[in-house]
């Protein structure tokens, strides 16, 4: 089983979902925020979207992830076992960022290796592309950008077992 491929396929099923009911709100976003313990309606949903995706994979593939379930990206990363942390930007890895304005964070799914300038394709929940906020493919840089600092990477390809 190619778990990384399955995760990306599952996440992409939500591609194009947008915030139709105000900031961080839509029928889909409300559904996943109500599903996630500790999240509330209108909360950021970058990590919640990924946790929801992993939960669906657990059900579909009869597996269990050895990962926390937390709506905060930085808290999720900090609570994850050290053995899943890496320095490699590999397809399917989760890259965590902190906002330069505070310790809250963001998360991206790596879709491909970085190019010579450090740019790599990513998939994200709760991102703005053009004038649209929602779930989209983006391009990130390994060094971060004007808003985000690099925080860490998780390799989830070994963070699961069969039930």
User: Is a pLDDT exceeding 90 seen at residue 129?
Assistant: yes
Q: What pLDDT does 154 receive? A: 98
Query: pTM for the whole thing?
Result: 0.96
- Of 145, 146, 141, 139, which is closest to residue 124 (Cα–Cα)? 139
Q: What pLDDT does 133 receive? A: 98
Helix (H, G, I), strand (E, B) or coil at 125: strand
DSSP at 141: E
CA distance 137 to 122: 6
CA distance 163 to 153: 26
Q: What is the per-residue pLDDT across 15-64, written as a single tens digit (0 to 9) for each?
A: 999 999 999 999 999 999 999 999 999 999 999 999 999 999 999 999 99
Q: What pLDDT does 60 receive? A: 96
Domain residue extents for the chain: 3-162
Q: What pLDDT does 1 receive? A: 75
Burial class of residue 154 in the structure, from the number of CB atoms within 10 Å of its CB (0-12 exposed, 13-18 middle, 19+ buried): buried
Q: What pLDDT does 24 receive? A: 98
What is the domain class of 3-162 according to CATH?
A: alpha beta
Q: What pLDDT does 76 receive? A: 98
The partner residues of 152 in beta bridges, in order of sequence, read 96
Q: What pLDDT does 122 receive? A: 98
Residue count (the chain): 163
Q: What is the per-residue pLDDT across 72-125, written as a single tens digit (0 to 9) for each?
A: 999 999 999 999 999 999 999 999 999 999 879 999 999 999 999 999 999 999
């Amino acid at each position: 089983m190619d778990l990384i491929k399955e995760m990306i396929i599952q996440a992409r099923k939500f591609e194009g979902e947008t915030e139709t009911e105000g900031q961080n709100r839509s029928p889909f976003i409300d559904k996943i925020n109500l599903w996630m313990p500790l999240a509330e309606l209108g909360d950021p949903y970058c990590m919640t979207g990924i946790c929801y995706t992993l939960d669906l994979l657990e059900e579909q593939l009869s597996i269990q992830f050895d990962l926390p379930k937390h709506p905060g990206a930085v808290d999720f990363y900090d609570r994850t076992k050290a053995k899943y942390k890496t320095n490699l930007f590999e397809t399917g890895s989760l890259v965590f960022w902190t906002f330069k304005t505070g310790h809250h964070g963001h998360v991206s799914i790596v879709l491909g290796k970085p190019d010579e300038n450090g740019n790599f394709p990513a998939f994200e929940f709760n991102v703005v592309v053009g004038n649209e906020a929602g779930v989209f493919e983006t391009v990130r840089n390994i060094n971060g950008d004007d808003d985000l600092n690099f925080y860490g990477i998780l390799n989830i390809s070994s963070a699961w077992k069969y039930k």
